[in-house]
Amino acid sequence: MNESGRTATVVLVVGGRVVGALPPVSLAMPWWPESADVVAAVRRRHGIDVTVLRLLTAPSDRQWGGHVAYLAEAEEVPTGSLTPWPGDPLKEEPLRQEWARPGGPAVVLRWSQERLAERGIRCTGPAEQMRSWNLSGVWRLPTSAGPVWLKAVPSFFAHEGAVMDWIGPPTAPEVYAWQPGRVLMAEVPGGANHETRGPGLEPMVHLLTRLQERSLGRSEELLELGVPDRRLGVMQGSVEAVVAEQAVGLGAPDRARVERLVETLPARVAAIDACGLPDTLVHGDFHPGNVAGTVGGYVLLDWGDSFLGNPLTDELAFTARLDEQEAARARGWFASAWRRIVPDAEPERAADLLRPVLPLLAAVMYDRFCAGIEPDERVYHQRDVVSMLRRAGDEASRAGSVAS
């Protein structure tokens, strides 16, 4: 087994039928959604080009690495032996995404080429597949205007292109075209900033909070774009339903903590509201890796998780990935920004009160993911609902009472 990455069996579809499985290939990256390394490995070893459609099998006890199997499309049968694959990976599944079906990637790519041509932009080479999984299909296209990224997403992220177009550059990437579930965007020079720490973090926070200030008072406009409404009062019923259904997967102490948190949720939400933070556009997955470019030219990426809700959701996501010293500084930047925007607000208290609520909202989100994706690919998220409920109970036990 490849201990640092993953190994993969690639099951081939040619001419609309499964022709068999290639011998396993070893891949340097452990992440199951990655496609570029699979495509390169198959080309190098077997001399054919493939398009990864979807995950077929993966270890049920982990979230990356190990041995996985992918279904992939090719235009020709390679020379050499192919192993029969059991079952029927082409059996119809209503929840299967467009890019996970044979012929689906070609449809999405043809759409992108047509939209670019309407803008006088031509493709100068073949598209490079970067990712294929239940949450997105992603390609990088070389064009006469420079690299362009194509992203296709499921229905629960269908608003991403509209939101990015609404935000506009320089805060978001330039959008060349979009329709629900698809977006074409310009590449941001400088790449992502997963490892950025220190002084480079503060401008990220300022960029986001300035955008959120611009979004104030525009809730109806955002909702008309398709931005999900996850204001805390709206979400209470969904939280209660997920806890009632999923908390059976917890041990008795964890279940008792979560159920107590849900019982006191109305009081906690009222206390959060009393802190004076207005609902606005929330990024939903705000961390340095979703900020591209360099200081002075940062651009916010990946708006599929965006929603209308409490802005300090983004503070808690951002600080969760930092060490305590940097997290404390970042909390100060968020608090200063919101006290400037709303002078009477209590952002520090609001963030503390919100902390146990976020895992509950995450549990709802993962539950919706699982309800909206085909069974073979639920392995990506099947443990996340119960994990988030357990975390919510832990956070509530540390947070104590909602009383001032």
Residue 181 in any domain: the answer is yes
Q: How would residue 401 be classed by pLDDT, with cut points 50, 70 and 90?
A: low
What residue numbers bound the domain in which 244 lies?
198-399
Q: Which of residues 163, 186, 209 is at a domain's end?
A: 186
Express as a percent the part of the chain with pLDDT over 90: 88
Q: Looking at residue 398, what is its pLDDT?
A: 83
**What pLDDT, on the 0 to 100 scale, is given for residue 349?**
96
Q: Is 92 domain-assigned?
A: no
Per-residue model confidence (pLDDT) at position 5: 87
**Residue 301 to residue 59: CA distance in whole angstroms:** 30
Residue 233, pLDDT > 50, answer: yes
For residue 86, tell me if it sits in a domain.
no
Tell whether 81 is covered by a domain: no
Q: For position 403, what pLDDT does the model report?
A: 58
Please tell me whether residues 202 and 180 are part of one structural domain.
no
* 166 and 126 within one domain: yes
Range with the poorest average pLDDT among 291-305, 351-365, 390-404: 390-404
Q: Are residues 176 and 318 in the same domain?
A: no
Same domain, 182 and 207: no
* CATH number for the domain harbouring residue 254: 3.90.1200.10
Question: Do 127 and 213 reside in the same domain of the chain?
Answer: no
pLDDT top residue among 400 and 105 = 105
Q: What is the CATH number of the domain that holds 156?
A: 3.30.200.20
Q: Which residues contact 261 (CB under 8 A, 6 or more apart)?
A: 268, 356, 360, 392, 393, 396
Q: Quick one: pLDDT band at residue 99, thresholds 50, 70, 90?
A: very high
Q: Which of the four pLDDT bands, split at 50, 70 and 90, describes residue 397?
A: confident
Among 220, 260, 290, 262, which residue's Cα sits nearest to residue 363? 262
Cα 187 to Cα 150: distance, rounded to the nearest angstrom: 10
| Residue at 210 is within a domain | yes
Lowest mean pLDDT among 159-163, 199-203, 258-262, 395-399: 395-399
Q: What mean pLDDT do residues 249-278 have?
A: 94
Residue 19 in this model has a pLDDT that exceeds 80: yes
Q: What is the mean pLDDT of residues 253-274?
A: 94
> Is the domain of 177 the same as that of 272?
no
142, 164, 186 - which closes a domain: 186
* Structural domain includes residue 91: no
pLDDT given for residue 1 in this prediction: 45
pLDDT of residue 249: 86
Q: Do 167 and 289 sit in the same domain of this protein?
A: no
Number of domains in the chain: 3
Residue 404 counted as domain residue? no
* pLDDT for the residue numbered 63: 84
Please tell me the predicted confidence (pLDDT) of residue 204.
Answer: 97
Per the model's pLDDT, the better-predicted residue between 399 and 257 turns out to be 257
Average pLDDT over residues 172-183: 97
Mean pLDDT of the chain, nearest integer = 94
The predicted model gives 18-39 an average pLDDT of 95
Q: Which two three-digit tokens encode residue 279?
A: 């609902």
pLDDT at 194: 85
pLDDT, residue 400, reads 56
pLDDT per position as a tens digit, 308-353? 999 999 999 999 989 999 999 999 999 999 999 999 999 999 999 9
pLDDT in tens, 103-145: 999 999 999 999 999 999 999 999 999 999 999 999 999 999 9
Are both 41 and 176 inside the same structural domain?
A: no
- Are residues 226 and 127 both part of a single domain? no
| 66 and 109 together in one domain | no
Whether residues 298 and 160 share a domain: the answer is no
What percentage of residues in the chain have a pLDDT greater than 70? Answer: 98
Dihedral of the CA atoms 283, 289, 292, 298 (nearest 10)?
60
Q: Do 213 and 166 reside in the same domain of the chain?
A: no
Which of 58-67, 217-226, 235-244 is least confident?
A: 58-67
Is residue 80 a part of any domain in this protein? Answer: no
Q: Return the pLDDT at 80.
A: 80
